[in-house]
Amino acid sequence: MSRAYVALGSNLGNRLENMKQAVIRLNIMRSTKLAGLSSVYETAPVGGPRQSFFLNACAALDTELSPTLLLKAMLEIEKELGRVRSTHWGPRTIDLDLLIYENIIMNSPLLELPHPRMTERNFVLVPLAELNRDLIIPGIKRTVNELVSMQKPAEGIKLFLAQGWEL
């Protein structure tokens, strides 16, 4: 089994229910098991058109799927939950981003690992630090906790629900 970390986000419809449904689907995905789930944070949107605030969280998965197959399965979950890709960085029912897969560094037309913008985003780093603050980002050679401490104060991010919210 390999350890992967996934970011979840939603700002359309019932945001929390969208995230719960995504977690259920991640946990029942073939050859994959949910290994951890962060708290949920409410965050201001970054980039794109004017839109509602997001709910964001991170999940740890243990999987036998390759990074590419895992990403394809995640994209299918987005589709099942009504994700429509019409506007770049636009509003969405659910967004699932593969952040890290073991120590793999990858740059293909389909997938870039680690996620190219994760180190700039508190809405990814703060929940990821809950799961594994000592995780070293491949290619960056810094821990998640170090990256959090290097960011500007977590403006526009507030705790929405503590860990255990998926129950």
**How does pLDDT run across 73-87, given as a tens digit for each residue?**
999 999 999 877 766
Sign of CA dihedral 162, 18, 104, 141: negative
**Residue 97 falls in the annotated catalytic set:** yes
* Strand-strand pairing, 106-107 and 95-101: unpaired
Catalytic residue among 30, 50, 62, 97: 97
**Residue 134 falls in the annotated catalytic set:** no
Four-way CATH pick for 2-161: 1.10.1740.10, 3.30.70.560, 3.40.50.1220, 3.20.20.140: 3.30.70.560
48 pLDDT higher than 70: no
pLDDT band for position 62 (50/70/90)? very high
Other beta carbons within 10 angstroms of residue 90's beta carbon come to: 15
Would you kindly state where each structural domain of the chain is located, as residue ranges?
Answer: 2-161
Per-residue pLDDT tens digits for 7-39: 999 999 999 999 999 999 999 999 999 999 999
**Residue 30 falls in the annotated catalytic set:** no
**Residue 95 falls in the annotated catalytic set:** yes
